[in-house]
Amino acid sequence: MLSESSTATVRATLPAVGAAIGDIADLFYRKLFDAHPELLRDLFNRGNQASGAQRQALAGSIAAFAAQLVEQPDTRPDVMLSRIAHKHASLGVTPAQYDVVHTHLFAAIAEVLGEAVTPEVAAAWDEVYWLMANALIAIEERLYAEQGVVAGNVWLEWEVVSRTEETDDVARFRIRPADGSPAPAFRPGQYVSVQVELPDGARQIRQYSLTGAPGSALRSITVKRVHGNDAPDGEVSRHLHDRVRAGDRLRVSAPYGDLVLKSDEAPLLLASAGIGCTPILSMLEHLAESSHRAPVTVVHGDRSPADHALRTDHTALTAKLHDAAAHFWYENPEAGHPADRTGLVDLSGLVVPSGTHAYLCGPLPFMRSVRTQLLAKGVPASDIHYEVFGPDLWLAS
């Protein structure tokens, strides 16, 4: 809880800080990477830095945390903190790195806001920072302990057992620990970080959802080649598609992620778009293996059937469930595809049972649309869960 004196100061300065938070985040990252280029090379996603997505996410999370401290002082934004902590744990973030971030973030705040940053203002925002940082450190320590790893050393060597081309732009890699040890357990919907060494020596990291049942001997990651359009193509996805074959090794983290099934007994709606189907398929396989009896509504949107990665699995796993139906929308469907399933996902014709828990994964506009439709159908906001691939720009919007 923020102290009484700091609460008053943060409340008074939040509009000014909020208005400048984008400039602060931009300057912070420039200062950070000037002083520690290894962080951009080997920890931060260079693509997200180039696009500005990471800066937006940082700004949004700081503003959201500070606003909650002053507007709802008796509560903590645990959902946001958990999502950030899981991502940090998959990267191996250490407590010492929070000190580094603090140094350059507060230098940026002082430079952008100038004389407005009095000692009182600096102390209040310092308190905000360490409340957030220490909360994250505590969650991350617990996550590391649960996986039997330590901060800064989360990587294990895995062997690629096979590779399957699912679509022109999507490949599935089946992997296992290279030392022959059992694959770590994971919860349906979780992801791993994969670190690859690129031609310039950088060790870039990306997250990929685990597919397949959590109890299987092998794990699978499904990788979509990222086309940059007006920006460079995705560095890691390009490397995996162009260079990695059966027999190769990958550096893989323990599984993390907070988009996991909260209740197996409730009716479920599992909605995805594009490559966002991957955590959903893991959930479906788990539900099939556990003989889930409650209704399950499966929703997916894609450009066309040919672009729908793992479409056969999507259909087959749904068919294994006791009471489930799959509904696929395509913007460019094949001949004979139902007209009411053409275009963007539209839930108006679907019955959503009372008590439904919804899980969403896909592009942000898709998830916003589906969430709005679910709220209109009476699904409580607390029962709608989502996963963002990349920086969580929902907080920044």
Count of other CB atoms within 10 angstroms of residue 179: 9
Q: What is the pLDDT of residues 237-296, one digit of tens each?
A: 999 999 999 999 999 999 999 999 886 689 999 999 999 999 999 999 999 999 999 999
What is the reported pLDDT for 230?
62
Check pLDDT > 80 for residue 212: no
The residues, ordered by sequence, that sit 6+ positions from 74 with a Cβ below 8 Å of its Cβ are 1
Most confident of 18-27, 59-68, 172-181: 172-181
Structural contact between residues 341 and 328, judged by C-beta atoms closer than 8 angstroms: yes
Q: Do residues 169 and 256 make contact, with C-beta atoms less than 8 angstroms apart?
A: no
Give which of 160, 156, 180, 155 is closest to 172, Cα–Cα: 160
**pLDDT number for residue 231:** 60
Under a CB-based contact definition with an 8 Å cutoff, are residues 144 and 89 in contact? yes
Question: Nearest to residue 317, comparing CAs of 211, 195, 191, 171?
Answer: 211
pLDDT of residue 97: 97
Across all residues in the chain, what is the average pLDDT?
A: 92
pLDDT band at 393 (very low <50, low <70, confident <90, very high): very low
In this prediction, residues 129-143 reach a mean pLDDT of: 96
Note the pLDDT of residue 397. Answer: 46
Residue 208 annotated in active site:
no
Residue 298, φ and ψ in degrees, nearest 5: -105, 125
User: What are the helix (H) ranges across the chain?
Assistant: 4-35, 37-42, 46-51, 53-71, 78-91, 95-113, 119-147, 235-243, 277-289, 311-320, 364-376
> What are the Cα distances from residue 361, in Å, to 84, 92, 287, 312, 388?
16, 24, 17, 19, 6
- pLDDT on residue 396: 43
Determine which one of 127, 140, 166, 387 is catalytic.
Answer: 140
Cβ contacts of 68 within 8 Å, gap of 6 or more: 75, 76, 77
Per DSSP, the three-state class of 378 is coil
The order of strands in the sheet holding 268-273 is: 324-330, 296-302, 268-273, 357-361, 384-387
pLDDT at 390: 62
Percent of the chain with pLDDT strictly greater than 90: 81
pLDDT in tens, 334-371: 998 998 999 999 999 999 999 999 999 999 999 999 99
When comparing pLDDT for 396 and 144, which is higher?
144
pLDDT of res. 213: 63
- Write the pLDDT tens digit of every residue in 148-183: 999 999 999 999 999 999 999 999 999 999 999 999
In the predicted structure, residue 389 carries a pLDDT above the cut 90: no
Q: Is the pLDDT of residue 214 over 80?
A: no
98 a catalytic residue: yes
* Catalytic position from the list 29, 98, 129, 386: 98
Q: Which structure tokens are listed for 378?
A: 């009476």
| Mean pLDDT of the region 94-122 | 96
Segment 55-72 shows an average pLDDT of 86
Percent of the chain past pLDDT 70, that is, above it, reads 95
CA dist 9 and 44 (Å) reads: 32
pLDDT value at 60 more than 90: no
